Chain A
């Protein structure tokens, strides 16, 4: 009988071990209280969402792992991940989830939590500033093109005052630095 070899060091695992002291046990309840987060705990990790995702192949954290990370309380890893911002919002994961977990909606919730801590990618922040300054993401410049097609040079009924006023008072205003 051969003797079992003594293996030095930590055991080989498929994923990095999780440091339990770093987990935030309230994170799952936080997400569950947000829009469409209710079904979060129904996830049984079948990873159908990951199979449906057209870009999961280039993500470190796959969609089913992000859901598992929320359930485990890995708040900081999720909210600091690039994955939540790269989500295409194509809703294919959500459409196919057999447990009716609203995965895409939950990633929107995560982005809102990250934004509340001021963690917003630079170019998304630039869009927030556009909304505050101009009240729209695209502004008509080539009005002659419109006239050539028999359209009015400026969009009939357009007024950006309402949206600017609203967003100055909400988180967009704070993020863009022009808020109260």
Chain B
């Protein structure tokens, strides 16, 4: 049974306990042992990287060093945490000067960064460690080919020499549930979350463009793997009625919610009622 250091970050537990619950349930069903990391909190997000690069290195270098104590890989369900941890690890592995500066700080806490554990998104661990075949074998209530558009999220995909994630992994995972992947022109575009603090109308426009692009391509549902992207595509969608006079009614599910349903897990256990655009319309698409 693969064991992981689970790094939850701050946004998932506070804003998306339904995502957290779905991750835990899926892990349980597929034999992934998630252990919450201790003595950690927030990654600081790209905002911390913008204003305090060294502080960002130390905060995330510390998280990596804590994981190294038991040697298990870090998994996280948040693209922001994934991007921060992955980028810091990449930088510290390649920049000797910064590594020794960071380690000087970590030494005061009795820690050292050596770069011995991997940082992984929960999605990638599902794809690589469990695998599509095994997932399909465990599915009891496959979807009926309903069309789902995927928003991967920028910090999951790019920069690809740092993230090492391939969009095909999530495509395969969505297809494994029996759903059809609906491609759409703006698939690479940002959800707009990062620009919210400095230009809210722009952030809303970006979210709206994405939702519209998915809808026009024929998606009946959308899926995301990040709480910030979830905010933009699900929660913001509710506000589009006022800001744009447009109603899209495109339910947005966190991918582990979709997988959990296909694995026969009850919708209450994964908080489906908490999704902002009502998402229970996915239930009639489950077979079996």
Q: Do A and B come from one complex?
A: yes
Which positions 192-216 of chain B face chain A at CB distance < 8 Å? Answer: 192, 194-195, 197-199, 202, 206
Pairs across A and B, CB under 8 Å, 17 listed: A88-B190, A89-B46, A90-B154, A105-B159, A123-B198, A124-B50, A137-B11, A139-B10, A146-B20, A150-B24, A151-B13, A151-B17, A156-B38, A159-B41, A160-B42, A162-B59, A163-B59
Interface pick from A1-9, A24-32, A62-70, A91-99: A91-99
- The distance in angstroms between the C-alpha atoms of A126 and B192, with both chains bound, is 19
Residues of chain B within 8 A of A49, CB atoms compared: none
Known: A88-B192, A90-B154. A146 touches B17 (CB 8 A): yes
- Per-residue 0/1 for A140-166: is the Cβ within 8 Å of any B Cβ (1 yes, 0 no)? 111001101111000111111111001
Chain B interface mostly: helix
Q: Scan A98-141; emit 1 where CB is below 8 A from any B CB, else 0.
A: 00001011001101100100001101101110010001111111
Q: How far is the CA of A163 from the CA of B133 in the complex (A)?
A: 41
Contact of A157 among B39, B195, B197 (CB under 8 A): B39
Known contacts A90-B154, A127-B47: A95-B160 contact under CB 8 Å? yes
Across the interface, do A112 and B21 meet the contact criterion of CB distance under 8 Å?
A: no
What chain B residues lie within 8 Å of A175 (beta carbons)?
51-52
B36 on interface, CB distance cutoff 8 Å: yes
Q: Is A172 an interface residue (CB 8 A)?
A: yes
B157 to chain A, nearest CB (A): 8
Contacting residues, chain B, for A94 (C-beta < 8 A): 158-159
In which size bucket is the chain A interface?
Answer: 35 or more
Q: Does A55 contact B (CB under 8 A)?
A: yes
Is A86 engaged at the interface, CB distance under 8 Å to the other chain? yes
The answer to whether A136 and B42 have CB atoms under 8 Å apart is yes
**Is A178 in contact with chain B by the CB < 8 A criterion?**
no
Q: Is B285 an interface residue (CB 8 A)?
A: no
Q: By the criterion CB–CB under 8 Å, are A170 and B8 in contact? A: no
Bound-state CA distance A82–B202 (Å) is: 13
In the complex, B172 has a CB within 8 A of chain A: no
Q: A108 CA to B24 CA in the complex, in Å?
A: 34
**Pairs A-B, 9 closest by C-beta atoms:** A170-B55, A91-B158, A157-B38, A136-B42, A138-B14, A90-B190, A136-B10, A123-B197, A149-B21
Is A35 in the interface zone, CB < 8 Å from B?
yes
